[in-house]
Amino acid sequence: MYPQLLSEEEARISRNYDQICSRIGDACRESGRDPHSIRVMAVTKGHGEEAARAARHAGLTLFGENRVMEAREKYVRLRDGISLHLIGHLQRNKAKKAAGFFDCVESIDKLATAQVLEEIYAGYDRSLRIYCEVNTSGEPTKSGFAGREDLFRTLEKILLLPHISVAGLMTVGPLSPDTDTVRRAFMSLKNLYDEIRASWKIHDFTELSMGMSGDYPLAVECGATVVRIGTALFGSRQ
């Protein structure tokens, strides 16, 4: 048997993934972390099914999509052996289409959305993992809970929903060239995460999803367990 030759796209994505893992390793050495404690999410927004297949071939098993319908079209033949997260804002009228297809919704920022999902998953008699999204940059164009009080007040109610499992927090860092500004945003999420773990003792609350192509090494230094990578893995969107 001869080894299967990689396509040009598969080889390029595999090289990019190796470089991403190398930079994560460097960030872990700087911060005294174990590289195995960080997962790379392949964000396929704007990229086709073949790009997702190439990422799977490179060894990635965690994938993220921003839009429900794009994900359903792209991943209908790719669900085996992967975990698929919704990372874009979930509109209540799209909740039924998202339900049962995604393994996790990372973008919960309203009690009403969690309640709609609770009703759906009660009918399935199984639970859904979610992350609560926090707007750490204060930018009005971004989704997420506005701060500690907003998050904690709503989280208290979400935790009463029996078919919703709160697994972590997520944020989109500020679009800023200033490293200190980005670091403050990431550390504010890490501090909220630590406070929740200490105060609530939530079962399986273990994930901190932050950092994208332009800032993921800094996110790793600040405690990220999931980094969401699109451009650095696939190149510019189509």
Residues 201 and 144: their CA atoms lie apart, in Å, by: 22
Average of per-residue pLDDT across 62-89: 95
Mean pLDDT of the chain: 95
Residue that is written with structure tokens 């932050």 in the block: 210
Domain segments of the chain: what residues? 8-234
Residue 237 pLDDT exceeds 80: no
Q: pLDDT confidence of 236, banded at 50, 70, 90?
A: confident
Average of per-residue pLDDT across 209-229: 98
Residue type, 148: R
Residue 17 pLDDT exceeds 70: yes
Looking at residue 4, the DSSP 8-state letter turns out to be P
CA-closest candidate to residue 128, choices 162, 156, 77, 153: 162
**Cα-based distances in Å from 150 to 104, 134, 147:** 22, 9, 5
Residue that is written with structure tokens 């403050």 in the block: 184
pLDDT digits (tens, 9 = 90+) for 146-198: 999 999 999 999 999 999 999 999 999 998 999 999 999 999 999 999 999 99
Q: pLDDT confidence of 5, banded at 50, 70, 90?
A: low
Residue-level pLDDT at 145: 97
pTM of the model: 0.94
Residue-level pLDDT at 92: 87
Identify the helix (H) or strand (E) that includes residue 51.
Answer: helix 49-57
Residues 118 and 109: their CA atoms lie apart, in Å, by: 14
Contact residues for 8 (Cβ-Cβ < 8 A; gap 6+): none
Residue-level pLDDT at 4: 60
Phi/psi of residue 65, nearest 5 degrees: -135, 150
Identify any residues that bridge with 132 across adjacent strands, giving them in sequence order.
Answer: 108, 169
Residue-level pLDDT at 78: 92
Q: pLDDT confidence of 51, banded at 50, 70, 90?
A: very high
CATH 3.10.20.30 fits 8-234, yes or no: no
Residue-level pLDDT at 1: 42
Identify the helix (H) or strand (E) that includes residue 69.
Answer: helix 68-75
Average of per-residue pLDDT across 205-223: 98
pLDDT digits (tens, 9 = 90+) for 106-143: 999 999 999 999 999 999 999 999 999 999 999 999 99
Looking at residue 3, the DSSP 8-state letter turns out to be P
Which residue has better confidence, 230 or 80? Answer: 230
CA 13 to chain centre: 19
Q: Provide the Cα torsion 27, 56, 11, 65; round to 10°.
A: -70
Phi/psi of residue 127, nearest 5 degrees: -105, 160
Average of per-residue pLDDT across 221-230: 99
Residue type, 126: R
